[in-house]
Amino acid sequence: MTLFSSTFAQFQPDSVQYPFASNYFETAHGRMHYLDEGSGPVILMVHGTPTWSFLYRHYVRELSKTYRCIVPDHLGFGLSDHPTNFAGTPEAHSNNLVALINHLQLDSFHLIVHDFGGPIGLGAALQMPDKVKKIVLHNTWLWETADDPEAQKADRIISTKLGRWLYLKANFSPKVLLKKGFVDRKKLDKATHRHYTKVFPNSDSRHLVYQMGKNLVGASKWYGQQWKKLTLLEQKDWLIVWGEHDPFLGAAHLKRWTQRLPDAPVHSVPSGHFVQEEAWELSISQITTFFQ
């Protein structure tokens, strides 16, 4: 295995859709790309798979008028390096995020998380709970997945030779699974979709997307540990903005959050899994009110 996947030219985002300056932080396994836009109180936004900071572009454009928006790309995603010798577990990504927070010397921050960004972002927050102000949850989880029938089903597929081929050779995650996460496919036009597919141009570049998928169940024990530690953050102000037509994380996941965080206001929005794409205007309105 090589240290960095360097056999492909880095994808160049459209400057109209993604008009932001790139910043880089050196980790032990490669350069982590991140956005740092605006000034004021810090909002840290954490993506999942197979997305990257592009997912939060609408949020950054609007919220950076009042806040300092920091949005990293996990290693193996977006404009970060795509190392093939990095473990790629949610815990490892979470530790990278902690290192970035420390590098930027952030004294406090609001947190927005989504998908695998939930365990990754909250895992980081649990290492520095005093720095966390308010938390916004989009469709995500933070509990053991080994006994979840849907997670088990996905794990059985990805663990086969066919599953590996689909992820590494066919670019299955951004080409197929991402599209499945939308209710209104018109919201995923070709120009937008290519920003999710073209950042993974070959097998090496897809290695950590594949590892992320394997860790849906593979990191189950670690998720459970973070779930127990969540008492460190429970007294924070939480907001749940949930895509109500999510085919991956549905009503049972939302119920689990509301039982754990009974005082958190819940706003269901008419979208699938990717709230930031399908319902960004409504979501930003709710988030802005919450942070104020």
Contacts of 207 (CB under 8 A, 6+ apart): 5, 76, 82, 83, 84, 88, 168
184 carries an active-site annotation:
no
Active site residue 273: yes
Q: DSSP of 134-177, one letter per residue? A: EEEEEEE--S--TT-HHHHHHHHHHTSHHHHHHHHTS-HIIIII
Q: Could you say which of 115, 148, 155, 204 is catalytic?
A: 115
Phi/psi of residue 176, each to 5°?
A: -115, -55
* CA distances to 70, 273, 290 from 34, in Å: 7, 23, 24
Residue 180, CA distances (Å) to 27, 52, 76, 245 in order: 33, 17, 22, 11
Q: Provide the pairing of β-strand 109-115 with 30-37.
A: unpaired
Q: Does 155 participate in catalysis according to the annotation?
A: no
**Taking the C-alpha atoms of 128, 62, 76 and 124 in order, what is their torsion angle to the nearest 10 degrees?**
10
Distance CA 283, CA 174 (A): 23
Amino acid present at 108: S
Residue of 33, 195, 267, 273 marked active site: 273
Active-site residue identified among 36, 81, 148, 246: 246
Query: Annotated catalytic sites, by residue?
Result: 115, 246, 273
